[in-house]
């Protein structure tokens, strides 16, 4: 008898004004890159916390923050997210990574949005 796995829900962070910044970011990507991100998000949804490296990794020093890692046509795409209540991943911030080190500006945006989600419930 196989163990039934229930899928995780992947949701977009919504600003107080109703915008979905990660959705807007994805819309700016070339089609092959957007498809790659959506494919990896599908794996995240299916396997949840069991998805491991190199697809996802925790952000050191940032509580609960994770990054989805996607190879793109011009560099690498990163989507920051966190696991929220009810088997939900909240996509907080996406960007095209152009240097070896992740800019702290990008991390700060994701962390601010995560705190906003937690405050608003």
The secondary structure of the chain in percent helix, strand, coil, rounded to multiples of 5, reads 35, 30, 35
16 domain-assigned: yes
Residue 1's pLDDT band (cuts 50, 70, 90): very low
3-state SS, residue 31: helix
- pTM exceeding 0.85: yes
For residue 113, being part of any structural domain is answered with yes
Answer whether residue 72 is part of any domain: yes
The answer to whether position 2 is within a domain reads no
Residue 37 placed within a domain: yes
Burial class (CB in 10 A: 0-12, 13-18, 19+), 61: exposed
Percent of all residues in the chain with a pLDDT value above 70, rounded to a whole number:
93
Per-residue pLDDT at 29: 95
> Distance (Å, rounded) from C-alpha 47 to C-alpha 36?
17
Into how many domains does the chain fold?
A: 1
Evaluate whether residue 3 is within a structural domain. Answer: no
Q: Can you say how many angstroms the Cα of residue 55 is from the centroid of all Cα atoms in its chain?
A: 11
- Does residue 1 form part of some domain? no
CA–CA distance, 20 with 101 (Å, rounded to integer): 26
Q: Which residue segment(s) compose the domain that 60 sits in?
A: 9-120
Q: Does residue 27 fall inside a structural domain? A: yes
Question: How does residue 32 score in pLDDT terms, banded at 50, 70 and 90?
Answer: very high
CATH of residue 88: 3.30.2310.20
| Look-up of token digits 């190879």 | 71
SS3 of 100-119: the string is CCCCHHHHHHHHHHHHHHHH
The conformation of residue 29, written as its DSSP 8-state character, comes to S
Structure tokens at 114: 């995560």
């Amino acid at each position: 008898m196989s163990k039934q796995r229930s899928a995780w829900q992947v949701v977009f962070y919504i600003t107080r004004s109703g915008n979905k910044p990660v959705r807007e970011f994805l819309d700016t990507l070339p089609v092959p890159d957007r498809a790659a991100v959506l494919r990896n998000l599908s794996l995240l949804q299916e396997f949840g916390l069991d998805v491991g490296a190199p697809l996802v990794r925790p952000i050191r020093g940032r509580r609960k923050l994770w990054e989805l890692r996607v190879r793109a046509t011009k560099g690498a795409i990163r989507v920051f997210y966190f696991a929220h209540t009810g088997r939900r991943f909240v996509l907080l911030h996406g960007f095209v990574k152009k240097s070896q080190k992740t800019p702290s500006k990008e991390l700060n945006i994701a962390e601010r949005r995560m705190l906003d989600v937690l405050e608003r419930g």
